[in-house]
Amino acid sequence: MSNHITTDLLVDYVHHELAPEEDALVHAHLGECAGCRREVENESALTDALRSAAAAEETDMPSLVAARVWETIRSARPSPLGRLAVLLRPAVAVPLAAALVIGAYVAVPLSHGGPAPTIDAGYYFEQHAAAQVQYPLAERGATLQPADRAALEDDSPPAQLAEQSNVGVATVDFISAVR
């Protein structure tokens, strides 16, 4: 049983946001896996830094925190972690609200006489981002790809995916749990 814990689960674990059963599973795994323990330490450290910065009511992003975030990102080892990840689309001059995968919107097929259709959460994020790019300075045009294209198609066994997921504290939101 070499399934590592996904970064998402680890982050939630650090923030005490897991259901008791999940929490227990993660706790048990950490007892026997140095790699995942290291990632937990990283996540905890960043969280602490962010918290203390917030407590100090600093409004500019503290340079130390920023520096650590960048350092982590730059030193991140190649890993398929992000294959499960959101696509953040930062924009500069001309904000970008790109749609990537039309398939995500219809990920839940209309089944005949089955359950009611649903709307992909990513649809809401994208439409919102698309509408807001017209506003001055509004390059929050990050486009979320929740049911990420890779996650949707990924066939790799979870163990292999999680294997290299220790990229540290540059946690990517919305990483899916072990699939």
Partner 1 sequence: MSRRAFATALPVAAAFFLALGSTNTRAASPADPALVLLRASLGAPKVVSYVGQLETVRFSSSRATATIVRVEHRAPSLTRRWYLAPESLYGDYTITRGIATYDFDIKNSRVTISHNPALDEQISSAGNFDRVLANYRAVLGGNDIIAGRATRSVVLINKYTGERAIRVWIDERTHLVLKKEEYHGNGAVASQMRFEGVRYTNAIPDGVFSTDPPSGYAQIAGHDFKMPSTDVGRVIQEAGFAPASPKDLPQGFSLVGGSVATTNGVKTIHLVYSDGLRTISLFENATGAAADFGALRPKTLRFENHDAEYVEDGPTTLLTWREHGVYFALVGDLLRNELVDIAKSVVP
In terms of phi and psi (left: phi > 0; alpha: psi -120 to 50; beta: otherwise), the region of 137 is left
Which partner in Zn ion, partner 1, none is near 33 (CB below 5 to 8 A by kind)?
A: Zn ion
Residue 86 structure tokens: 């959101």
**Contact pattern from residue 114 through residue 143 relative to partner 1, giving x for each residue in contact according to CB under 8 A and a dash for the rest:** --xxxxxxxxxxxxx-xxxxxxxxxxx-x-
Angle between helices 7-14 and 34-55 (to 10 degrees): 50
161 binds Zn ion (CB under 5 A): no
Q: Which stretch binds partner 1 (CB under 8 A): 24-32, 33-41, 60-68, 155-163?
A: 60-68
Among 27, 110, 156, 157, indicate the residue that binds partner 1 (CB under 8 A): 110
Nearest to 47 by CA among 68, 30, 24, 78: 68
25 binds partner 1 (CB under 8 A): no
74 binds partner 1 (CB under 8 A): yes
Residue 73 structure tokens: 């990102």
Residue with structure tokens 């520096």?
67
Smallest gap from Cβ 132 to partner 1, in A, equals: 4
